[in-house]
Amino acid sequence: MKKILFTRVLLFLSIVSYAQKQDSNPITKTFKIAVASKTQITKNLAIELVEVLSDSRCPKQVQCIRAGEAFIVVNIYKGEEKFLQEKLEVYPKKINEYALEKLSDVHSKVVDIALLPYPNGIDKIDLSNYCLQLTIEQE
């Protein structure tokens, strides 16, 4: 009798443990945010790409001394209210930890940020063609 009870308790605990591990795996999503459009990231977080101030990223097929960067302005909304307007720097080859922190909240963590399209050195990119791409892990 004790063996059966012990086995059932052990089985129950292993099932509960497995279920908790399944729930803790984050879901990765990618969002593309066009200029002047507000995109809902979570129930309480939305982000709007207001403008691209400058884009000095080294164009494709060109060898540059520096990789360059782009400066953007975003509005961050908590709920329906604008919480913060922030000027962020986007690098082509590395992650800006400050930007990731500003764009994350309690339920979602921004793990990658990119500004698209990437310059080709030939065509000037019109402001309306830019979009901010965020890769987010959600619980």
Task: Give the domain extent around 69.
Answer: 26-138
Q: Is residue 48 part of a domain?
A: yes
Q: CB within 8 A of 133, min separation 6: which ones?
A: 30, 31, 32, 33, 112, 113, 114, 115, 116
Q: pTM, whole model, 2 decimals?
A: 0.75
The token duo for 108 is 């979602």
Residues of the chain with pLDDT under 50: none
Q: What is the CATH number of the domain that holds 98?
A: 2.60.98
pLDDT at 71: 95
pLDDT at 131: 95
pLDDT at 33: 95
pLDDT at 74: 94
